[in-house]
Amino acid sequence: MAKYLKHGMDAETVQTNDTKVREIVEGILGDIEKRGDAAVRDYSGQFDKWVPESFRLSEEQIKACYERLDKSTLADIRFAQDQVRNFAQIQRDSMLDVEQETLPGVFLGHKHIPMNSVGCYVPGGKYPLVASAHMSVATAKVAGVKRVIAAAPPFNGEPNPAIVVAMDMAGADEIYCFGGVQAIGAMAIGTETIAPVDMLVGPGNAFVAEAKRQLFGRVGIDLFAGPTETLVIADDTVDGELCATDLLGQAEHGVNSPAVLLTNSEKLAQDTLVEIEKQLQTLPTAEVAGKAWEDYGQIILCDSYEEMVQVADEIASEHVQVMTRDPNYFLENMTNYGALFLGAETNVSYGDKVIGTNHTLPTKKAARYTGGLWVGKFIKTCTYQRVTPEASAMVGEYCSRLCALEGFAGHKAQADIRVRRYGKKEISE
Ligand code: NAD
């Protein structure tokens, strides 16, 4: 039986926090609906102290951002984007259009069509999340989306140059500097100055994730990608120092970022607890990571690898770092996760920043029903069909009887007229 050596925050408190966020977001979105640009300006002033003449960046402003970055930073951003673009292209190439003759004279197919417009949110409250620009914008462009707009909040009172450059390099058609619910609302609902998009993508804090959730239906959303979560699955092949580093490395995302260690080694669990306290003495982001660990950190002790898989699937974590004798066992057996990081040699930070898999991943157990953002999320799989006259007459007879079974007279008439015309047959009532 799995045993908790350290428990996270209780479910009731998490629920109360969620309800508060839901109410705040509802109010802001309703106001943007009513007052458009004026509401966006007010909330940007209130939450970010940012009320520029225009939220959209001009070409000159974008160019000035390039000039503020040194050559090596530009090369690093380019390297990361190349990896993301390359893997997205490999995935795009795996999505084949199909057309098959499924019965004599019946041709069914599907075609992949990119969305016309998307809004990419790039978080920037606590850290300027440059990498999110590659993940959303570059991937949307590989998919073939025509209008890709990108938004990030101001950082230290101005547009963050590295984020702006990353958005531009990735191919964004319009770049905006605003954040939070007001950015999400403006892109989805539209204002006097911003044309609404068809889908919203990108990660963000609890407010951003909740705004996307509330707007789903009116626009598409990629997935529920809220505060970062990490699960480290480890056995006695690794040490407490490595586990502690990988837990705190993700806990630093925010004070509400869960970090969980799942292990079958009590010694490793104890060593990790000691190491976490030690590393928190020197980690520059210890204030955030330490609070996240205190409130949301967990250590769970299991008896077997089978039990570790079962508990990990229940947690359905966004990131799962596997550091065991046979990491492939978890690849073969786990069913609920955003992304797997197999072996001590790799880690979540590689995925977050550079390696090429997408870092926008499902949180709050959304991994039970979706994977992360990928090129396919920007593409609709739409079916079509055509039939020969002979096939129409044959299928029409089945259709006619099935329509009668359901009482659909109009549908039946659609089938019957074809049976008469192409099959030269009368349908008995
Ligand atoms: P953010 O850009 O998501 O949010 C900043 C905005 O939040 C601000 O612009 C402000 O308008 C708004 N805001 C702040 N306090 C508010 C309040 N009380 N009421 C209403 N709005 C408020 O940046 P962040 O806060 O740094 O969060 C980034 C988040 O993205 C982190 O939680 C991180 O874990 C998460 N993330 C998730 C993934 C994923 O794939 N799931 C990937 C990367 C990052």
Q: What percentage of the chain reaches a pLDDT higher than 70?
A: 99
Residue 123 CB less than 6 A away from ligand 1 = yes
- Per DSSP, the three-state class of 332 is helix
Instruction: Note the pLDDT tens digit of each residue in 233-246.
Output: 999 999 999 999 99
Count of other CB atoms within 10 angstroms of residue 151: 29
427 band by pLDDT with thresholds 50, 70 and 90: confident
Q: Looking at 319, 397, 406, 426, which residue is catalytic?
A: 319
DSSP β-bridge partners for residue 387: 106
Q: Let me know: does 372 contact 360? Beta carbons within 8 Å.
A: yes
Mean pLDDT of 291-295: 95
Dihedral sign from CA coordinates of 161, 163, 164, 168: positive
User: Does residue 5 have a pLDDT over 80?
Assistant: no
From first CA to last CA, the distance across the chain in angstroms is 64
Which atom of ligand 1 is nearest to 44's Cα?
Answer: 11
12 band by pLDDT with thresholds 50, 70 and 90: low
Alpha-carbon span 410 to 400, nearest angstrom: 10
Mean pLDDT of 128-135: 96
Alpha-carbon span 192 to 182, nearest angstrom: 14
Instruction: Note the pLDDT tens digit of each residue in 258-280.
Output: 999 999 999 999 999 999 999 99
Q: Which amino acid is at 372?
A: G
User: Does residue 282 have a pLDDT over 70?
Assistant: yes
Mean pLDDT of 329-354: 98
Q: Using the mean position of ligand 1's atoms as its centre, give its distance from the Cα of residue 153 in Å.
A: 9
Top mutation candidate among 17, 129, 176, 205 for ligand 1, by most atoms within 8 Å of CB: 205
Q: Let me know: does 318 contact 338? Beta carbons within 8 Å.
A: yes
Q: Looking at 210, 229, 275, 318, which residue is catalytic?
A: 318
What pLDDT, on a 0 to 100 scale, did the predictor assign at position 6? 78
Instruction: Note the pLDDT tens digit of each residue in 55-86.
Output: 999 999 999 999 999 999 999 999 999 999 99
Q: Say if strands 98-103 and 106-114 run parallel, antiparallel, or are unpaired.
A: antiparallel
Residue 318 known to be catalytic = yes
Alpha-carbon span 398 to 421, nearest angstrom: 16
DSSP β-bridge partners for residue 107: 101, 386
423's CB contacts (< 8 A; 6+ apart) are: 390, 392, 393, 394, 396, 397
Q: What percentage of the chain reaches a pLDDT higher than 90?
A: 93
User: Does residue 429 have a pLDDT over 80?
Assistant: no
428 band by pLDDT with thresholds 50, 70 and 90: low
Instruction: Note the pLDDT tens digit of each residue in 134-173.
Output: 999 999 999 999 999 999 999 999 999 999 999 999 999 9
Instruction: Note the pLDDT tens digit of each residue in 98-125.
Output: 999 999 999 999 999 999 999 999 999 8
Helices and strands, number each (H, E), in the chain: 17, 14
What ipTM was predicted for this assembly? Answer: 0.97
Q: Using the mean position of ligand 1's atoms as its centre, give its distance from the Cα of residue 203 in Å.
A: 8
What pLDDT, on a 0 to 100 scale, did the predictor assign at position 9? 72
**Ligand 1 atom 10 nearest Cα:** 180
Q: What is the pTM of this model?
A: 0.93
User: Does residue 14 have a pLDDT over 80?
Assistant: no
Residue 210 CB less than 6 A away from ligand 1 = no
